[in-house]
Structure 1
Amino acid sequence: MLNGKQRSYLKGIASNEKPITQIGKLGVTERFLEQLDLALEAREIVKVTILDNSLLHPKETANEVAEKLNAEFVQAIGNKFVIYRRSINNPRIQLPKS
């Protein structure tokens, strides 16, 4: 569970990131989750765009995806959301202590 200071730190990192994947009209599929799982292991923080034709709510979708991938919801702004999960093999992001 992220505290406020850690979440703020991750928001700062995410502000410079571009979305690397999108959710379309098919919604959250197993293939999407597999790809996002690999991306989280490689990058630790991932920004996702939800396309208008998907009719999904960004915050609800982000929480659902984070739960399925054992990740942490960082933020949702507009049609984008950010999730974080510490890499098992190659941790890069050092979160500040509480």
Structure 2
Amino acid sequence: MLTGKQKRFLRSEAHHLSAIFQVGKGGVNEHLIKHIEEAIETRELIKISILQNCEDDKQEVAEQLAKGTKSELVQLIGLTIVLYKPSVNNRKIVLPTRG
């Protein structure tokens, strides 16, 4: 579980990132989750955009992706989701400590 300070830090880190995945009409599926898991292992912090034609609720989509990839939902702003999960093999992001 991330603290408020850690989430603010991750939001600032994600600000300059571009969305590398899009959730469209098909919604969230196993294929999409598998690809996001691979990308998040490499990058740790990713942005995903929800397209206008997505029929699912944006909050549900964000929660499904976070749960499916076992990552933390950092932010859902507009139709953009930011997810974070520390990499097992090549950690790059150092989170601020609690306190």
Q: Place the TM-score, normalised by the shorter chain, in its bin.
A: over 0.9
> What's the TM-score once normalised by structure 2's chain length?
0.95
Find the aligned partners of 2:39 and 2:18 in 1 and give their Cα distance. 13
Structure 1 gap ranges (5+): none
Residue 55 of structure 1: how far off its partner (Å): 2.1
Is the 1:44–1:86 contact (alpha carbons within 8 Å) kept by the matching residues of 2?
Answer: yes
Deviation digits for residues 41-95 of structure 1 (CA, Å, limit 9, x no counterpart): 0000110011111122323211221112110000011111100000000000000
RMSD: 0.8
Q: For structure 1, which segment, 35-44 or 57-66, has the greater mean C-alpha deviation from structure 2 after superposition?
A: 57-66
Match of 2:80? 80
Find the aligned partners of 1:58 and 1:42 in 2 and give their Cα distance. 25
Residue 32 of structure 1: how far off its partner (Å): 0.4
Work out the percentage of aligned pairs sharing the same amino acid.
Answer: 39
Find the aligned partners of 2:95 and 2:39 in 1 and give their Cα distance. 19
Residue 10 of structure 1: how far off its partner (Å): 0.2
Alignment: residue pair count: 98
Equivalent position SS for 1:76: strand
Match of 2:16? 16
- 1:47 equivalenced with 2:27 (yes/no): no
Which runs of structure 1 show a deviation greater than 3 angstroms over 4 or more consecutive aligned residues?
Answer: none
Q: Which amino acid aligns with 1:14?
A: A
Is the 2:50–2:58 contact (alpha carbons within 8 Å) kept by the matching residues of 1?
Answer: yes
- 1:89 equivalenced with 2:89 (yes/no): yes
Structure 2 gap ranges (5+): none
